[in-house]
Amino acid sequence: SQKIEQNSEALNIQEGKTATLTCNYTNYSPAYLQWYRQDPGRGPVFLLLIRENEKEKRKERLKVTFDTTLKQSLFHITASQPADSATYLCAPTGPSGGYNKLIFGAGTRLAVHP
């Protein structure tokens, strides 16, 4: 069955450092992969999408890589701030068109300390 693994332990880093979160998946070949941010008591919010033919995607302080050989995506937040503290979810996704079913990882909680 399809499986998504994200670090279950919280990631604690100092303000200003780069946070790196890992998403590994097995038993399927997604056409693209999405990252979401979830704050306590709120619904997830879409951050970035990277396609299988893209190695890297950037948006402001965020960077995502996608290695289809390793079946892994890395999510980086540079110059991290306490406001970046949240849970980050990855969702490898099938081909577009029609119904798209996302399977989310359990998420990694990031805590950025001043």
Partner 1 sequence: SQTIHQWPATLVQPVGSPLSLECTVEGTSNPNLYWYRQAAGRGLQLLFYSVGIGQISSEVPQNLSASRPQDRQFILSSKKLLLSDSGFYLCAWTRGLGEGTQYFGPGTRLTVL
Residues near partner 1 (CB under 8 A): 32, 34, 36, 41-46, 49, 89, 91, 93-94, 96-107
Closest C-alpha among 40, 39, 45, 112 to residue 80: 112
**29, two tokens:** 């070949």
SS3 84: helix
Pick 13 or 47: Cβ nearer partner 1: 47
- The minimum distance between CB 79 and partner 1, in angstroms, equals 26
- The minimum distance between CB 97 and partner 1, in angstroms, equals 6
- The minimum distance between CB 45 and partner 1, in angstroms, equals 7
C-alpha Rg value of the chain to the nearest Å: 14
